[in-house]
Copies of this chain bind each other. A is one copy, B any other.
């Protein structure tokens, strides 16, 4: 990878954006390659990105803050809120995308590294999820349908998918993602007591 020029360039914003992209990519690449956590240091990231370590220290301060920034960028806006015409279909489509995202080895590696780095980076891994759920529920409300609470969707749909990704070895997983998501949504919406008009 080439050196990102840190002195030339008439557009500081452009240089700054290039440095950020190079550093983010370096982190994503190193994590995807399975770098050991104790080897993911700022000098290693800087060398891979082709920038000076002092630049990385000055801008991000620590590996934890750098991972938080990369995770927030990676996990924000990567899942589109669908419109299938009904709440069950919307939740299935959305949760299917979340499950696919969590099943991607590179995403999972980044999430593991971020969780290891502390609370800020850890929470960045779910940055947009509540907003996405809220948007899905608002759309169903606009259709005149009854909806569960956001918290009920987090508990009944999001939590099982994240738990499985982090704590269940692939060979011990249950049904295929599609039917797994359908069962969770069915279970969630079957809890009619939790629906509010």
Chain A interface (Cβ < 8 Å from any Cβ of B): 36-41, 62-64, 112-113, 115-119, 122-123, 125-126, 151, 154-156, 158-160, 162-164, 166-169, 174, 184, 187, 190-191, 193-194
Q: Contacting A155 at CB < 8 Å: which of B125, B126, B184, B194?
A: B184
Tell me the number of copies of this protein: 2
- With the chains together, A193 CA to B117 CA distance in Å? 41
- With the chains together, A40 CA to B64 CA distance in Å? 14
Q: Could you tell me if A116 and B123 are in contact, using CB atoms closer than 8 angstroms? A: no
Q: Could you tell me if B119 and A116 are in contact, using CB atoms closer than 8 angstroms? A: no
Identify the interface centre among A154, A174, A194: most chain B CB within 10 Å of its CB: A154
A195: min CB distance to chain B, Å:
13
Q: Contacting A40 at CB < 8 Å: which of B37, B162, B166?
A: B37
Identify the interface centre among A122, A151, A158: most chain B CB within 10 Å of its CB: A122
